[in-house]
Amino acid sequence: MPMNDYRMSEYGSYPTIIDAPREETTSLLAKVLGITALGFFVTAFGVVTAPPWGTFIGFIAVLGLVFAISFAKKANPTVALGLFLVLAYFMGWEIGPLIQRYIHAFGSSLVFNAAATTGAGMAVMGCIAYLFNINYRRIAGIGMAALLLLIIAGIASMFFHFMSPNTYSWLTLGIFTLLTVGDFARIRAGGAGASAVVLALSIYLDGINIFLAVLQLMGGRRRD
C-alpha cells in the first residue's frame, strides 16, 4: 500500500462549519502542531533504527494502527496518542530502507533538503488556510476524489507503464498540497469535533506523502 492509501483510511466526512473563535482554534492548532512535530521526531528515530527488512512489517503495523486510532479516539485520547506515536515509529521502519537508499546514492543532504522543503511548504499552506476563509469540506472532497483516481492510475501504471515516477510524484505533491490546506482549514474551523490526535494524524500523513514526493523529485533531478 502506498503512503497515500493511509490517508484514504483515516478520512471521514466533514461538516460545513467554516470558522470558529480564534482562541479556540489557536489552542487546538498548538496541540495539533505539537503532536505532529513529536510524531515526525519519532519517525526520524524509526528511520535510524529501521532494519533493511522493515518495510513490510512497518506497512502492516501502520495500516493496523491507522484503524486502531480511529476506534480509540472516542474511547481514550491518551491511548490514541500512544497509538499515534507507535504508528510514527513504524512509519520510520516502512520508509527507512527507502531513505537509506537515497542517502547511499545521493548523500544525506538530499534527505535534509527534502525535509526542509516539506516543512517550509507546509508552513506556507497553514498560513494560506488561516489567511483565507476556505470551505475545507469542499477541498477535502476534491482532494480525496483526486487521491482515489491517483491510486487507481498508479496501480494501472504498474501494468501498462503509462505514468513515470516523476509524474506520479508531481501529482502526489499537488493532491497533498490541497489536502494539507484543507486540513489546516479544518483546524481553523474548530476541528469539526475531531480530537487533536486525529487532526495531527491527518497533518502527519500529509507531511509524509509530501516529503516522499519531494524526495523522489529531488532524487530524479540528481539522476538527470
pLDDT per residue as tens digits for the range 159-188: 888 888 899 999 999 999 999 999 999 998
| Residue 16 confidence (pLDDT) | 42
Alpha-carbon 39 to chain mean position = 11
This prediction has a pTM of 0.88
pLDDT (mean) for 121-150: 91
Report the C-alpha gap between 15 and 19 in whole angstroms: 11
Task: Read off the pLDDT of residues 89-99 as tens digits, 9 standing for 90 and up.
Answer: 999 999 999 99
The conformation of residue 11, written as its DSSP 8-state character, comes to -
Report the C-alpha gap between 44 and 88 in whole angstroms: 9
Question: What's the grid cell of residue 78?
Answer: 491518551
For the chain, the domains span 3-9+16-223
Task: Read off the pLDDT of residues 20-72 as tens digits, 9 standing for 90 and up.
Answer: 455 567 888 999 999 999 999 999 999 999 999 999 999 999 999 998 888 87
What burial class does residue 22 get, using C-beta atoms within 10 Å of its C-beta: 0-12 exposed, 13-18 middle, 19+ buried? exposed
